């Protein structure tokens, strides 16, 4: 594996240089938020930031995505064109928790049978440059409890690690190695690699929020019916913020939109927190109240995904904890379940 060292103040220039040669998504400041966006002329990519407010899942799975277009003909309304083709891109500055979410979502969107071409096309053409959390940014971070690590390279093509005075760049995959030319020619020595390992060990200790996320699986297996489920949802507003900010939530709706003779079929993010999510035409709804919806969310992340893919559908980014308007804390829910 190629390893390079770069000066800290050189990184911004490197990103801009990559951006001159092709599209780059990077964290930028938008009003008061840090968000990932396609760099345009004049945008300042951030090289020191905690994490973006939204998970960067929208790069591969946009909030609204045109799937296909159609047109009205004398015979009916007929298919016109498909919208899968995207170009090569570089996604810079993804935190290890978010990079890991791509690996988790590949399990769903890229199965042996039934592949999702919209996800796979964008995913396969994008090079991911991760930025390790040498200093985990938030007290709500809990990646180590769900299988992640603040200096993990999982899901990354290139991993950048802040060593204090400079960045170590590790080129993990072949796709990542194509970016080598932008990173100068200072080879990383053993000292730098050793320093990275020290930083990784220290970063792990700085994640103090620990939850028994793996341990609750056998408890969830046998407690679909339990009075505990009556206790979570009471204050839930069903706003769906947790699912929209979540890097691993992948539920979507498919809808049609027509103007005059032309129309398009779209997929939009949807949320299991909404009553209409499962409501059938007859009026029957298998999940009648917010209790069932919350149980679904918890079960999906910590049991169903484990059953189907042997992985927890949570990366411990803590966004749902930080931004829930009524302070529902998934860490507390997991903790409480572990005591059932």
Partner 1 sequence: MQNPYVPYPVEVIKIVTEVDTKDIKTFRFAFLNKEDEEKFRYIPGQFGELSIFGKGESPIGIASSPTQKGYVEFTVQKAGVVTSALHEMEEGTRMGLRGPLGNSWPIEYLEGKNIVIVGGGFAFTTLRSLINYMIHGDNRKRFGKITVVYGARNPGLLIYKDELDVWAKRDDIDLNVTVDKGDAGWKGREGFVPTVCKEVAPSSENAVTVICGPPIMIRFTLPVFFDLGFSKENIITSLEMRMKCGIGKCGRCNVGSKYVCKDGPVFSLAELDKLTKEY
Chain residues 151-210 in contact with partner 1, contact rule CB under 8 A? none
Write down the least CB distance from residue 107 to partner 1, Å. 11
Which listed range, 3-11, 137-145, 248-256, 316-324, lies at the site for partner 1 (CB under 8 A)? 248-256
DSSP, collapsed to helix, strand or coil, labels residue 252 as strand
Q: What is the dihedral of CA 84, 86, 88, 91, to 10 degrees?
A: -100
Quote the Cα angle for 143-329-92, to 5°.
40
Write down the least CB distance from residue 110 to partner 1, Å. 10
In the complex with partner 1, the residue whose CB is nearer, 68 or 186, is 68
Name the packing angle between helices 117-124 and 96-109 (round to 10°). 140
Q: Is there binding between residue 222 and partner 1 (CB under 8 A)?
A: no
Write down the least CB distance from residue 216 to partner 1, Å. 15
Write down the least CB distance from residue 157 to partner 1, Å. 22
Would you give the DSSP letter of residue 149? -
Q: Is there binding between residue 75 and partner 1 (CB under 8 A)?
A: yes
Chain residues 53-72 in contact with partner 1, contact rule CB under 8 A? 67-68, 70, 72
Rule CB under 8 A: choose which of 58, 77, 86, 209 binds partner 1.
77
Write down the least CB distance from residue 72 to partner 1, Å. 7
Beta-bridged to residue 253, according to DSSP, are 268
Tokens coding 328: 């529902």
Write down the least CB distance from residue 108 to partner 1, Å. 6
Which listed range, 3-11, 132-140, 141-149, 267-275, lies at the site for partner 1 (CB under 8 A)? 267-275
Write down the least CB distance from residue 79 to partner 1, Å. 6
Q: Is there binding between residue 302 and partner 1 (CB under 8 A)?
A: no
Q: Is there binding between residue 260 and partner 1 (CB under 8 A)?
A: no
Beta strands in 149-259 (DSSP E): 158-162, 166-171, 252-259
Q: Is there binding between residue 117 and partner 1 (CB under 8 A)?
A: yes
Q: Sheet containing 166-171: which strands, arranged edge to edge?
A: 2-7, 166-171, 158-162, 126-131, 89-94, 24-30, 33-38
Closest CA to 334 of 148, 105, 149, 142: 142
Contact 232, 167 (CB under 8 A): no
Closest CA to 8 of 42, 52, 48: 48
Rule CB under 8 A: choose which of 228, 263, 323, 335 binds partner 1.
263
Q: Is there binding between residue 252 and partner 1 (CB under 8 A)?
A: yes
- Count of residues in contact with partner 1, rule CB under 8 A: 52
In the complex with partner 1, the residue whose CB is nearer, 292 or 335, is 292
Q: Is there binding between residue 340 and partner 1 (CB under 8 A)?
A: no
Query: Which position has the token pair 């009205």?
Result: 72
What Å distances lie between residue 134 and 35, 59, 142, 322, CA to CA? 20, 25, 14, 21
The Cα 11–Cα 76 span in angstroms is 55
Q: Is there binding between residue 265 and partner 1 (CB under 8 A)?
A: yes
Q: Is there binding between residue 272 and partner 1 (CB under 8 A)?
A: yes
- Output the CA torsion sign for 109, 115, 120, 121: negative
Chain residues 273-292 in contact with partner 1, contact rule CB under 8 A? 277-282, 286-287, 292
Helix count (H) and strand count (E) of the chain?
11, 11
Which listed range, 40-48, 106-114, 169-177, 316-324, lies at the site for partner 1 (CB under 8 A)? 106-114
What are the residues binding partner 1 (CB under 8 A)?
Answer: 67-68, 70, 72-73, 75-79, 82, 84, 108-109, 111, 113-118, 120, 224, 250-256, 258, 263, 265, 267, 270, 272, 277-282, 286-287, 292, 296, 299-300, 303-304, 307-308
């Amino acid at each position: 594996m190629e390893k390079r060292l770069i000066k800290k103040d050189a990184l911004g220039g490197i990103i801009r240089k990559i951006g001159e040669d092709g599209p780059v998504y990077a964290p930028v400041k938008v009003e008061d938020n840090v968000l990932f966006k396609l760099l345009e002329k004049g945008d300042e990519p951030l090289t020191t930031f905690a994490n973006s407010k939204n998970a960067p899942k929208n790069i591969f799975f946009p909030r609204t995505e045109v799937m296909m277009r159609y047109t009205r003909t004398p015979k009916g309304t007929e298919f016109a064109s498909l919208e899968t083709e995207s170009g090569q891109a570089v996604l810079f500055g993804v935190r290890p928790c978010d990079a890991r979410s791509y690996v988790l979502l590949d399990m769903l969107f890229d199965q042996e049978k039934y592949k999702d071409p919209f996800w796979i096309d964008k995913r396969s053409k994008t090079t991911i440059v991760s930025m390790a959390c040498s200093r985990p940014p938030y007290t709500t971070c809990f990646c180590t409890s769900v299988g992640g690590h603040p200096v993990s390279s999982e899901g990354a093509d290139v991993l950048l690690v802040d060593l204090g005075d400079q960045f170590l760049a590790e080129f993990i995959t072949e796709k990542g190695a194509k970016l080598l030319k932008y990173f100068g020619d200072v080879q990383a020595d053993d000292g730098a690699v050793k320093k990275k390992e020290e930083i990784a060990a220290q970063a792990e200790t700085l994640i103090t929020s620990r939850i028994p996320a793996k341990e609750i699986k056998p408890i969830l297996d046998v407690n679909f019916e339990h009075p505990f489920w009556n206790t979570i949802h009471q204050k839930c507003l069903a706003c769906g913020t947790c699912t929209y900010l979540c890097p691993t939530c992948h539920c979507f709706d498919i809808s049609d939109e027509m103007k005059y003779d032309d129309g398009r079929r779209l997929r939009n993010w949807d949320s299991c927190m909404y009553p209409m999510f499962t409501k059938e035409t007859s009026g029957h709804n298998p999940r009648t109240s917010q209790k069932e919806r919350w149980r679904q969310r918890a079960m999906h992340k910590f049991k169903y995904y484990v059953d189907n893919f042997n992985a927890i559908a949570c990366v411990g980014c803590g966004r749902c904890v930080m931004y829930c308007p009524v302070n529902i804390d998934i860490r507390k829910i997991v903790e409480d379940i572990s005591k059932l």
